Structure 1
Amino acid sequence: MKPACSAPWTKLAVIAVVLSPALLYAQQVQPPTPEPPPTQTAKPQTDADTHMTKSQAADLFKSVDEVIGFVASDSHLKATRPVKRRLLTRPEVNKELMDRMKEDEGAKRLQRSELVLKKFGFIERDFHLQPFLLSLLTEQVAAFYDPKTRTVNMLDWVKPDEQKPVLAHELTHAVQDDRVKLEKWGSPAPTAIAKNMREDNEHIQLDEASTARESVTEGQAMAVFVDYELQPMGKTLKDAPEFGERVREMSSDTSGSPVLSRAPLLLQESLLFPYGQGLAFEQAILQAKGVDAAFAGTLDRPPTSSHEVMHPEVYMAKTPVPVLTMPNVHTLLDKDWDPYDVGVMGELDVRIITELFGGRAMADPLAVAWNGGIYYAAQKKTGADKASPSSIGIVYYSQWKNQDSARSFLKIYASQLPRKYRSLKQVEIPNGDDDHLLFSTEEGDVWLSLDAGGGVFLSEGFDRDTAKKLETLYREVQGHGPLQQASEQPMHELTLGLRNLMPGIPKAALDYGMRTASH
């Protein structure tokens, strides 16, 4: 879901400071606190007390030109404009990130996305997203490139030699910026709330999964990072692909981050996806088609969904990606409900929700069987606390490659309903079966239905009669819209869209802890 314009769970992915073990490197390399002289009382030392010398700062600033030369040569992307450089203290970085998070338009949509995510059950009702994200940002801060000012921001508490590999990652964004103007290229999705069927389907078709594009930019930056670290060995990711696998394994390890390690699965998966899976995507293109296709080629024709990022062969073959059609729900709902959110639930979304509700063993097989999915959320006009998920009604319609997978998804989804509703009670249906389930809850009815063609319809919060009418609309309209080609129109996805919630927050280099993978 997207926050006002992205897929629900995909949205959380929006937090652009994304943390991977790489970021953890920043903590690992901090200079040790020196022992005080025996006659003095030790004074606690913090990151803010540790500063780079003028000589070290000059060396670091000088290294930017050297590193960007390597980046341009390694990626075949031209560095056409100078890059500004700035040295920041820890407090300065923290303040800048928090200010951007509070002021950015995406942050204003954060609460909207949070309600939808909670309604679907991706995060617990008592979880507070914004304070968590602020903690995560300040913990995982690293050097970052800002496309608005074309500036690489470096850290004055980390030694120059320890920042250079991170610069290789961040300066990859600078040469990408030269080719496609990252600020606009990375956020092509509309942000206004869709108010009619035409706008709903525009969101579905054109709201791109920003993280799919971010998987390109971060995957490329990770590839250059690995090549930079492999220089002394005379190797690159292309001729030593095993290093890419080692880095990807590290990118899924959250043990080095106290904050991220206790984050909901949704946040962990969606935040790390562009780095680990993005690197896998870029490496596959690199191996199959070479440097120009992996870098310039994927910037010029980026993937449109998590499905293509997770299956590079689909992207390379230009295989159509399943895109479902939104029916006109407004004539039925708008009298009592305000439009709230609409978007695509992609393969990554399915993998996350299935793992969350059914366990890892079920997640990958079911995600592969996904064959398209869209969601819609509305908010009650009156009679509900608009700061609570109880004010939200949601619909999710998905199609599957086989009936067994569709039925498995329906059962897994139904099994987690007791976690969300205190007064959940199943309602007996005349001539009912396990493929059609009705429940009453303190927040309205829940209706789950499987058809003979492998389509699963879910409705929560709308009364039974309205849910049945919505189901008819969703099932009837499918097949009337053209299947979109992966190379044409970008989509927005729920979980990946999360990352778009805060587009103004710089993406910190996740590459920190990664550097050890190349040694």
Structure 2
Amino acid sequence: MLLGRLWVGSGSSTGMIAAFALWSASFGAAQTSAPGAAQPASPAATQQPMTKQQAKELFRSVDEILSFVSSDTKLPIEHTVKRKLISRDQVNHYLKDKFDEDEGAKRMERSEVVLKKFGLLDRDFHLRTFLLSLLTEQVAGFYDNKTKTVNLLDWIEPDEQKPVLAHELTHALQDQNIDLTKWSDVSLSSTSHSVQEDNHHLQMDEADTARTAVAEGQAMAVFIDYTLRSTGRTIADAPDLANKLKDQATDAGGSPVMARAPLLLQESLLFPYGEGLGFEQAILVKAGKEAAFHGVLANPPSSSFEIMNPEAYMAHAPVPLVRLPDIHPLLDAEYTPYDVGVMGELDVRILAELFGGREQAAALAPEWNGGVYYAAQRKSAVTEAEKESTASIALLYYSRWKNADSARSFLRIYAAQIPRKYSNIVERKSDETDEEELVYSTNEGDVVISRAGDSVFIGEGFNLALARKLRDMIGSIQPEGRMQQAVVPVIVPVNEPALSMSRVLASFGAVNESALQRYTSRGAK
């Protein structure tokens, strides 16, 4: 998946991290400034460390809340959960170490150039610097599934931390029942060098993103149930609550850091929590707790399409999947394979919103019917500076749509952004074969965008003749109907550079739950 692979699962903690900034900002709870600016002290930061008596109360509440979580999810308690009280400095140190050491962060840094090639990040944006500022901005507790420990914060009042415990102890019970480390990271992680490896990647590409959305959606559902427990209501009997949460969370105006974040970051950070909650709520309402928790963990969805369309998951509907032909003989003399993946419904929604606005994104995303991207790096790029430049990357993107009108709309939206991405642009009308093809010269090579029926091909950086060969090869092997995505087994992954924006952040597990609690109470009224 283009945007989902910044969630890092294997050997790391699971929980909310930077998404707290968006959620808290949506109802005015954030007290932060942009990176580099003098930051005012938040109420939490000015508090004294809790007393021994408060710490004892908080530690005792872990077992009480774990019992609530087990009752709410029907997931059994296999053993008690270890607990640890840590300081703000320890949290910041932990987050920075995780960012530096985690393989997902390394994949993210390598993938940054492809995100920029797509136009999802500005060419001068520094992703690592921004994410480090985001990760250390606010924290309210996290569960580390590597050490099997829930980490509690010594500067926040116990009552304010109890809702975060409901969320994080959901992860603890998930971990006890299915081993989150192995369960949550199943995508292949080696760079593919053959057509067989390419298509194996495509079959499994969105599995991690879907599983992260399940884990976080379940934890969000329990968090809300815990928050609403005094009212007698639950997320299952508040059908409009998940949508209200998602709608409110899109306003990041209360947090300058998140307000200046690229749409890519804002949307991908929210996806597991907002869409995951919506998915979980739909299963709860239709099939009950057993299906929504144990059932989904045992048979998880494999794509963002299923998360965004839970009725398709429940109906076992086929997942749209585009396959690649053997393009390596055309490319491998001049290019080195760099990345390959699915362009899922979430990716399309973000691209369409960034390039065409929210209204067009809302209309186009449901019309998506499969997509794939392939990035290759020129072998002539030798120095680190050359390799970090988008000019070193050639990119193809092939998408299918439910009808020709939707394909045509997407082509127009994407083509309108070419002047924003490149300079020295000249449209070569004499080279265009018909009105369904656009050909440009740019400072980074040829760009060709074309439509054939319900499909759109985009080639950026390949010369025109090569781009057309790639287009014709890909189009010729696609089936007329949808192709069922393969069932994803639980495997121990290897390592691969990948491109999505969601996974790095799930490793660190932090959230401003007190803000979430205030919003949930308000949204439930």
The residue that corresponds to 1:119 in the other structure is 117
After superposition, give the CA deviation of every residue in 1:269-302 in whole Å (9 maximum; x if it has no partner): 0110111111111111101111111111111111
The residue that corresponds to 1:429 in the other structure is 430
Q: How many positions carry a matched residue from both structures?
A: 497
The residue that corresponds to 1:408 in the other structure is 409
CA distance in 2, matches of 1:177, 1:128: 34
The residue that corresponds to 2:314 in the other structure is 316
Work out whether residues 206 and 304 of structure 2, in 8 Å CA contact, stay in contact via their aligned partners in 1: no
What's the CA shift for 1:507? 2.3
CA distance in 2, matches of 1:231, 1:150: 27
Q: How does 1:53-132 map to 2 (within 5 A)?
A: 53-132=51-130
The residue that corresponds to 1:40 in the other structure is none
What's the CA shift for 1:12? 4.7
The residue that corresponds to 1:326 in the other structure is 324
Q: Secondary structure at the match of 1:52?
A: coil
The residue that corresponds to 1:500 in the other structure is 503
**Root-mean-square deviation (Å):** 2.7
CA distance in 2, matches of 1:247, 1:283: 12
Structure 2: runs of 5 or more not aligned: 10-15, 32-40
- Indicate how the Cα distance of structure 1 residues 484 and 283 shifts in structure 2: closer, same or farther if over 3 A, else same: same
CA distance in 2, matches of 1:304, 1:90: 36
The residue that corresponds to 2:461 in the other structure is 461
CA distance in 1, matches of 2:344, 2:381: 33
- 2:515 is the alignment partner of 1:513: yes
Work out whether residues 6 and 104 of structure 2, in 8 Å CA contact, stay in contact via their aligned partners in 1: no
CA distance in 2, matches of 1:202, 1:364: 30
After superposition, give the CA deviation of every residue in 1:244-286 in whole Å (9 maximum; x if it has no partner): 3433333333233221111000110011011111111111110
The residue that corresponds to 1:389 in the other structure is 390
- Indicate how the Cα distance of structure 1 residues 46 and 369 shifts in structure 2: closer, same or farther if over 3 A, else same: closer
**Given residue 400 of structure 1, which amino acid in structure 2 is its aligned partner?**
W
What's the CA shift for 1:481? 11
- 2:132 is the alignment partner of 1:138: no
The residue that corresponds to 1:219 in the other structure is 217
**Given residue 272 of structure 1, which amino acid in structure 2 is its aligned partner?**
L
Structure 1: runs of 5 or more not aligned: 1-6, 31-42
The residue that corresponds to 1:358 in the other structure is 356
Q: Secondary structure at the match of 2:438?
A: strand
The residue that corresponds to 2:3 in the other structure is 9
Q: Secondary structure at the match of 2:502?
A: helix
Work out whether residues 425 and 439 of structure 1, in 8 Å CA contact, stay in contact via their aligned partners in 2: yes
- 2:441 is the alignment partner of 1:440: yes
- Indicate how the Cα distance of structure 1 residues 331 and 389 shifts in structure 2: closer, same or farther if over 3 A, else same: same
Return the match for 2:50 from 24, 31, 52. 52
**Given residue 457 of structure 1, which amino acid in structure 2 is its aligned partner?**
F
- Indicate how the Cα distance of structure 1 residues 486 and 215 shifts in structure 2: closer, same or farther if over 3 A, else same: farther
- Indicate how the Cα distance of structure 1 residues 89 and 48 shifts in structure 2: closer, same or farther if over 3 A, else same: farther
CA distance in 2, matches of 1:44, 1:143: 16
Percent identity at matched positions?
A: 51
**Given residue 426 of structure 2, which amino acid in structure 1 is its aligned partner?**
K
Give the TM-score, by structure 1 length: 0.90
**Given residue 501 of structure 2, which amino acid in structure 1 is its aligned partner?**
L
After superposition, give the CA deviation of every residue in 1:360-389 in whole Å (9 maximum; x if it has no partner): 111111111110000000001114610111
**Given residue 19 of structure 1, which amino acid in structure 2 is its aligned partner?**
A
What's the CA shift for 1:199? 0.8
After superposition, give the CA deviation of every residue in 1:300-326 in whole Å (9 maximum; x if it has no partner): 111111111111111110000111111
- Indicate how the Cα distance of structure 1 residues 431 and 275 shifts in structure 2: closer, same or farther if over 3 A, else same: closer
What's the CA shift for 1:154? 1.1
CA distance in 2, matches of 1:501, 1:161: 29
The residue that corresponds to 2:36 in the other structure is none
CA distance in 2, matches of 1:197, 1:269: 31
- Indicate how the Cα distance of structure 1 residues 512 and 423 shifts in structure 2: closer, same or farther if over 3 A, else same: farther
Q: Secondary structure at the match of 1:188?
A: coil
CA distance in 2, matches of 1:287, 1:416: 41
**Given residue 368 of structure 1, which amino acid in structure 2 is its aligned partner?**
P
- Indicate how the Cα distance of structure 1 residues 338 and 483 shifts in structure 2: closer, same or farther if over 3 A, else same: same
Return the match for 1:270 from 260, 268, 271. 268
CA distance in 2, matches of 1:371, 1:110: 26
Work out whether residues 141 and 152 of structure 2, in 8 Å CA contact, stay in contact via their aligned partners in 1: yes
Work out whether residues 25 and 249 of structure 2, in 8 Å CA contact, stay in contact via their aligned partners in 1: no
Return the match for 1:179 from 173, 177, 180. 177
After superposition, give the CA deviation of every residue in 1:385-439 in whole Å (9 maximum; x if it has no partner): 1011111000000111110110110111010000111111111235743310110
Return the match for 2:145 from 144, 147, 159. 147
Work out whether residues 26 and 512 of structure 1, in 8 Å CA contact, stay in contact via their aligned partners in 2: no
CA distance in 1, matches of 2:349, 2:218: 24
CA distance in 2, matches of 1:182, 1:27: 33
The residue that corresponds to 1:4 in the other structure is none
CA distance in 2, matches of 1:485, 1:171: 32
Work out whether residues 190 and 203 of structure 1, in 8 Å CA contact, stay in contact via their aligned partners in 2: yes
- Indicate how the Cα distance of structure 1 residues 237 and 501 shifts in structure 2: closer, same or farther if over 3 A, else same: closer
Q: Secondary structure at the match of 2:456?
A: strand
The residue that corresponds to 1:33 in the other structure is none
Q: Secondary structure at the match of 1:238?
A: helix
The residue that corresponds to 2:450 in the other structure is 449
**Given residue 69 of structure 1, which amino acid in structure 2 is its aligned partner?**
S
After superposition, give the CA deviation of every residue in 1:215-254 in whole Å (9 maximum; x if it has no partner): 1111111111111111111222222334434333333332
The residue that corresponds to 2:35 in the other structure is none
The residue that corresponds to 2:13 in the other structure is none
Q: Secondary structure at the match of 1:325?
A: coil
Work out whether residues 117 and 123 of structure 1, in 8 Å CA contact, stay in contact via their aligned partners in 2: yes
